[in-house]
Structure 1
Amino acid sequence: MRRLAPYQTGLWLAEYMDMRCQLCRIYRSTPQSQLLHHQTQFRLDNITNVPPTRTALKQHSFLTNIRNQANSYLSSGLLCAHCHNDITWLPRPFEVDIAPSISLSIQASTYYEYPIRQAIRAFKHQEDMTKLPLLLHAIRQLPRPHGCHRNNSVIVAMPTTSQRLVKRGFDPVSILSAQLSKHWQIPVWQGIERIDDTVSQQGLSRAERLSNLDNAFALIEKPAVKRIILFDDVATTGASLQALGRTLHSSFGVAPLDQHQPSHGYHLFAYALAHGNQ
């Protein structure tokens, strides 16, 4: 049997054996499917401002019974409903230019603020695996791109340099992208390498970030599929994803998918765990 990495074992234990919320450690964790149901119902109630129908009450009662039965055996969630609802999920996408008249839309799962900011910093800089369950929960809020599946798409984790990998000892973005791959059932592709030895992007202006990433990426091989999904942990100005998108576009004409004018060429998508200032 292949030996599991410590973070994989820890995630399994957190999700299926630990009944407590991985953030507050007080309330019982809630399965992802139920969080989506409650979140949707909450939005509908706020929009319509009308009492629930008899059918809705029956559905709620049915779901409550199912939840109680499931919780009596194994937990299948990471956060409780209280902590989940305290975090803003899926902020409005923002765009960056990768070529003249071609922009790339970047969708983040949440904002780079408490408690996500602290969790990302602890995981990236201190290899604190206890923060990984919260980050996995955030990853699961990302909607899979329409029309993308394991046979026509790949995920590209933001590449890192060998020097940084040796210094840090592990690649946090690769670990996170592996979890996104499991969640979406889309394989990770490692056909791009980072060839520069630039300084950290933290604290740089947008212009400095773009200049810092000039000629930072190189294509190793051409992907066998037509849909390429870029992923990074934190998108501040989107400069890293922008530079990566520019490399792909200049290499073989990959561009964001225009659903109004579909084509048979390569299509590009971009996602991040969090968006905000580092």
Structure 2
Amino acid sequence: MRRLPPYQTGLWLAEYIDIRCQLCRVYRSTPQIHLPLSHPSLSTVDVDSVRTNAKFLPNQQSAVAKFRQKIEQRLNSGLLCTQCHHSIAWLPKPFEVDIAAGIDLPIQAATYYDYPIRQAIRAFKYHENMTKLPLLLHVLRQLPRPHGCHQNNSVIVAMPTTEQRLVKRGFDPVMVLAAQLSEHWRIPLWQGVQRIDNTVSQQGLTRAERLSNLDNAFALTEKLPVKRVILFDDVATTGASLQALGRALYTQVTGLTVTESYIANQYHISAYALAHGSHSS
């Protein structure tokens, strides 16, 4: 029997039973299909993953259809009210960092690292406050699905953490978020990258210090199964961590130097994050 993560039950309760807004806790959450469609990042939940493959007799089809309709309506429900959704639904412009000669890594974040997302991320990441996960999941679902990527040709690589940090923190917050994104996009996670235990925390470092700190920080432990890779991190402040991970994938997968970009171009790497920068900056 498949063992569920310890947070999954609480997440289901928040998403499918608790109909109050997960941010203000006052208003009812609004189905995403009823939210204004002017925002380019708006998306709904893929309901195919919850549909049953069971076969029914003709006289049962009507009841099953109604049941499926109710489930789809609930799965299309948002976790925030309209007002709170619009208070955070600011899809930042994507930015790029170089990972090889003539090759850039595009990075798209779901929102800005501002209040209340900043406080929610910090509470979830550093204090294991799972009550913030529904809010973060709502924000995560605003990310547009990568064009041309699907479960047969792509994988998601969550920013690896060190064993030392995992033991100290007790859980991997980026992996928790990546698992939810994997389920939403229906693109599998791949854990074939290891982070070496010789780097310090990136918090408070300049961009140059971040890049230097991440030299040789990642190593592939398995052969990459596909040529489309989606990198994911919770917060992309300068993009240095995603840049270092992208460079490691290019150089170690191809076995070439980053200057031999004509072969590296056979691989398509993009990056996504929950939050980036500040809307006021």
Per the normalisation by structure 2, the TM-score is 0.81
CA-CA distance at 1:42 after TM superposition: 11
Say whether the 8 Å CA contact 1:196–1:215 is kept in structure 2. Answer: no
Residue by residue, what CA displacement relative to the aligned partner does 1:93-134 show, whole Å, maximum 9, x if unpaired?
011111122111100000000011000000000000000001
Residues 1:200 and 2:201 aligned together: yes
1:7 paired residue number: 7
User: Using a 3 Å threshold, how does the CA distance of structure 1 residues 3 and 249 change in structure 2: closer, same or farther?
Assistant: closer
Within a 5 Å distance, the mapping from 1:223-238 to structure 2 comes to: 223-238=224-239
Residue by residue, what CA displacement relative to the aligned partner does 1:22-73 show, whole Å, maximum 9, x if unpaired?
00001100123333xx142899xxxxxxxxxxxxxxxxxxxxxxxxx969x9
What is the one-letter code of the residue matched to 2:152?
N
Consecutive unaligned residues of structure 1, counting only runs of 5 or more, are 44-68, 255-260
User: Using a 3 Å threshold, how does the CA distance of structure 1 residues 168 and 92 change in structure 2: closer, same or farther?
Assistant: same
Please state whether the residue corresponding to 2:146 is helix, strand or coil: coil
Consecutive unaligned residues of structure 2, counting only runs of 5 or more, are 42-68, 256-261
1:20 paired residue number: 20
Identity %: 74
Please state whether the residue corresponding to 1:151 is helix, strand or coil: coil
What is the one-letter code of the residue matched to 2:84?
C
Say whether the 8 Å CA contact 1:89–1:141 is kept in structure 2. Answer: no
Within a 5 Å distance, the mapping from 1:237-276 to structure 2 comes to: 237-253=238-254, 265-276=266-277
User: Using a 3 Å threshold, how does the CA distance of structure 1 residues 236 and 264 change in structure 2: closer, same or farther?
Assistant: closer
1:143 paired residue number: 144
Query: In the aligned structure 2, how far is the partner of 1:154 from the partner of 1:12?
Result: 25
Say whether the 8 Å CA contact 2:211–2:240 is kept in structure 1. Answer: yes
Residue by residue, what CA displacement relative to the aligned partner does 1:125-172 show, whole Å, maximum 9, x if unpaired?
000000000100011000111000000000000000000000000000
Runs (4+) of structure 1 exceeding 6 A deviation are none
CA-CA distance at 1:74 after TM superposition: 5.0
Please state whether the residue corresponding to 2:38 is helix, strand or coil: helix
What is the one-letter code of the residue matched to 2:169?
R
User: Using a 3 Å threshold, how does the CA distance of structure 1 residues 41 and 87 change in structure 2: closer, same or farther?
Assistant: closer
Please state whether the residue corresponding to 2:200 is helix, strand or coil: coil
User: Using a 3 Å threshold, how does the CA distance of structure 1 residues 213 and 145 change in structure 2: closer, same or farther?
Assistant: same
Say whether the 8 Å CA contact 1:16–1:77 is kept in structure 2. Answer: no
Within a 5 Å distance, the mapping from 1:149-228 to structure 2 comes to: 149-228=150-229
Query: In the aligned structure 2, how far is the partner of 1:113 from the partner of 1:23?
Result: 14
User: Using a 3 Å threshold, how does the CA distance of structure 1 residues 74 and 182 change in structure 2: closer, same or farther?
Assistant: closer
What is the aligned length?
242
Larger CA deviation: 237-246 vs 221-230: 221-230
Residues 1:40 and 2:55 aligned together: no
Say whether the 8 Å CA contact 1:23–1:134 is kept in structure 2. Answer: yes
Query: In the aligned structure 2, how far is the partner of 1:226 from the partner of 1:33?
Result: 34
Per the normalisation by structure 1, the TM-score is 0.82
1:77 paired residue number: 78
Query: In the aligned structure 2, how far is the partner of 1:74 from the partner of 1:188?
Result: 26
CA RMSD of the aligned region, Å?
A: 2.4
What is the one-letter code of the residue matched to 1:32?
Q
User: Using a 3 Å threshold, how does the CA distance of structure 1 residues 137 and 99 change in structure 2: closer, same or farther?
Assistant: same
CA-CA distance at 1:264 after TM superposition: 8.3
What is the one-letter code of the residue matched to 2:125?
K
Please state whether the residue corresponding to 1:5 is helix, strand or coil: coil
User: Using a 3 Å threshold, how does the CA distance of structure 1 residues 219 and 74 change in structure 2: closer, same or farther?
Assistant: closer
What is the one-letter code of the residue matched to 2:26?
I
CA-CA distance at 1:276 after TM superposition: 1.4
Say whether the 8 Å CA contact 2:207–2:238 is kept in structure 1. Answer: yes
